[in-house]
């Protein structure tokens, strides 16, 4: 039996400008997928309120300090992180699902939802530290990033990767990503510790990137 393949994402937070092109392109594809699968005759994109498979977070901190001469110095910073599903090696959403609807595919390691088995209990959403599974309240089923699997089958990248104007995102097998980028810098704030789910995500950290899972200091707002 062949070894399972595992795909994953690479994020370069030194390049991300927070433009949200990945966020918007993912939302467009998401709406088209749901519309075409449920009501191909409908016009426009479903509202899908509260459902955003890829999100761009702004993280900032630092403070101003007054020196003895009355001058002020500052350490204020901000950077962006684009995050979606990390198709984890130990997906807690799969473990939390009572029906087996949430599952990890052997052929590519992507975590998918079998919506015919989903009962919309949201157990997977409560378990996931990345807010990846999200409920479509109109259809009462869970949805999430599927890795643009149909595009991968055609030899293309996910739509979020292809839409990034700064090329801050990449997607490939984890073996290929590690060969190209190394092991990365680990999770940075505002992401949770990697130990929770063993995510398939390599990050190049912003120079100000703090360790993932850190608790914000009250002065760092």
Rounded Cα gap, residues 48 and 8, in angstroms? 25
Q: In the predicted model, is pLDDT for residue 131 greater than 50?
A: yes
Rounded Cα gap, residues 221 and 212, in angstroms? 16
Q: Angle CA(31)–CA(35)–CA(39) in degrees, nearest 5?
A: 165
The residues with which 57 forms a beta bridge, in sequence order, are 81
Report, as an integer, the average pLDDT of 168-172: 98
Output the pTM of the full model: 0.86
Residue pLDDT, tens place only, 47-75: 677 789 999 999 988 888 888 888 888 88
Rounded Cα gap, residues 6 and 91, in angstroms? 13
Rounded Cα gap, residues 139 and 134, in angstroms? 12
């Amino acid at each position: 039996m062949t070894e399972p393949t595992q795909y994953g994402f690479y994020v370069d937070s030194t390049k991300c400008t927070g433009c949200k092109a990945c966020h918007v392109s993912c939302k467009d594809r998401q709406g088209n997928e749901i519309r075409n699968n449920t009501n191909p005759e409908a016009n426009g994109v479903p509202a899908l309120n509260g459902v955003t498979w890829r999100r761009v977070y702004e993280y900032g901190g630092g403070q101003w300090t007054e020196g003895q001469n009355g001058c002020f110095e500052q350490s204020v910073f901000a950077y962006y992180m684009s995050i979606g599903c990390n198709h984890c090696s130990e997906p807690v959403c799969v473990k939390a699902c009572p029906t087996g609807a949430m599952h990890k595919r052997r052929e590519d390691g992507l975590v998918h939802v079998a919506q015919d088995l989903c009962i919309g209990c949201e157990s997977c959403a409560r378990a996931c530290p990345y807010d990846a599974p999200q409920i479509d309240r109109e259809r009462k089923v869970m949805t999430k990033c599927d890795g643009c699997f149909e595009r991968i089958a055609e030899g293309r990248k996910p739509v979020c990767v292809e839409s990034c104007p700064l090329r801050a995102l990449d997607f490939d097998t984890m073996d290929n990503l590690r060969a190209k980028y190394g092991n990365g810098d680990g999770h940075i704030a505002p992401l949770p510790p990697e130990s929770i789910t063993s995510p398939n995500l390599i990050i190049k950290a912003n120079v100000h990137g703090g360790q993932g899972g850190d608790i914000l200091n009250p002065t760092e707002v």
